[in-house]
Amino acid sequence: MEHNVPKSRQARQHKRRTTSASSRSLDMVSSCRQPIRVFIANGQEIVRAGVRTFLHGEEDLIVVGEGDHVDGVLSGSWQTKPDVIVLESGLSGGSDPGIYKRLFNLLPSVRIISWLRDDNAEAFRSAVEGGAQGYVQEKSCCMELVRAIRAVGKGGGYLAPEAAEKTLCLLRQSQDLVCFRWGLSMISPQERRILALMAEGNTNKEIAVKLLLSDKTIKNYISNMFAKLEIKRRTQAVALYLKGLKQHTPMGKGTSASCSVDDD
């Protein structure tokens, strides 16, 4: 027993030393972990100040720069080399698609969170096509933005709940556009011209006059077109045409058409 006591004490001392060493090692790893470097790109000084103040209380985040227009964001980002850029949609001095491309060309490893204005579908589309990794609306709370910065800064993506509906809408629009293009590929150039005239509200007789064809010929074209598009009514054809036209026209501005149903 006398020999066992020193061994037991020695084992306890060894365990304390090992635990202490492990604790110091974890402290060193924690101290070596670098905070996520954030650049705020927003046109309103009061917004930038508010975000900067809020992020100052987060130990793992640090604001390294700010900018209120495109040129300032580009030069400031190049100088500060941020990990994440919180980019307001519609920033002055350039277009949304253009600034994404320029930022990624300048800093290939940078990650971007699109700070979206409410109900701006065009800005959301530009952010998606531009390659943003995170999407947060301006009306979101600051903690939502913090969660987005942490997720994106660690290599992930982030989609705020408010932006989820826009994502689904964008996917539906893309699907509709694919269907529209597929449908157009099935009809002849003459049938496309007739479809466009139908969307403008022209009757069969009016279309015949404009294309210098007979009424019967126009009706045959329409019948063939309906069969290819797998539709039965004139209103369906016009709706399909207008939906595709809207996708091709910025901000949804297109031909304001009425449909003459007398020729169904």
Rounded to 10 deg, the angle between the 215-229 and 161-186 helix axes is: 130
Residue range(s) occupied by CATH 3.40.50.2300 in the chain: 34-167
Query: CATH assignment of 187-263?
Result: 1.10.10.10
pLDDT band for position 142 (50/70/90)?
Answer: confident
CA torsion 216-218-221-223 (nearest 10°) is: -70
Mean of the per-residue pLDDT values of the chain? 76
Convert 23-60 into a string of H (helix), E (strand) and C (coil): HHHHHHHHHHCCCEEEEEECCCHHHHHHHHHHHHCCCC
pLDDT band for position 30 (50/70/90)?
Answer: very low
39 has a pLDDT exceeding 70: yes
Number of DSSP helices (H) and strands (E) in the chain, helices first? 11, 6
pLDDT digits (tens, 9 = 90+) for 231-258: 888 877 777 777 665 544 443 344 444 4
Q: Enumerate the β-bridge partners of residue 137.
A: 116
Identify the CATH class of 34-167.
alpha beta
First to last CA, the chain: 107
| Residue 120 near residue 114 (C-beta atoms within 8 A) | no
150 has a pLDDT exceeding 60: yes
72 has a pLDDT exceeding 60: yes
pLDDT digits (tens, 9 = 90+) for 170-214: 545 554 554 455 556 677 888 888 888 888 888 899 999 999 999
88 has a pLDDT exceeding 80: yes
109 has a pLDDT exceeding 80: yes
pLDDT band for position 228 (50/70/90)?
Answer: confident
Residue range(s) occupied by CATH 1.10.10.10 in the chain: 187-263
How large is the average pLDDT for residues 75-101? 88
Lowest-confidence pick of 126-135, 160-169, 174-183: 174-183
Lowest-confidence pick of 5-9, 129-133, 190-194: 5-9
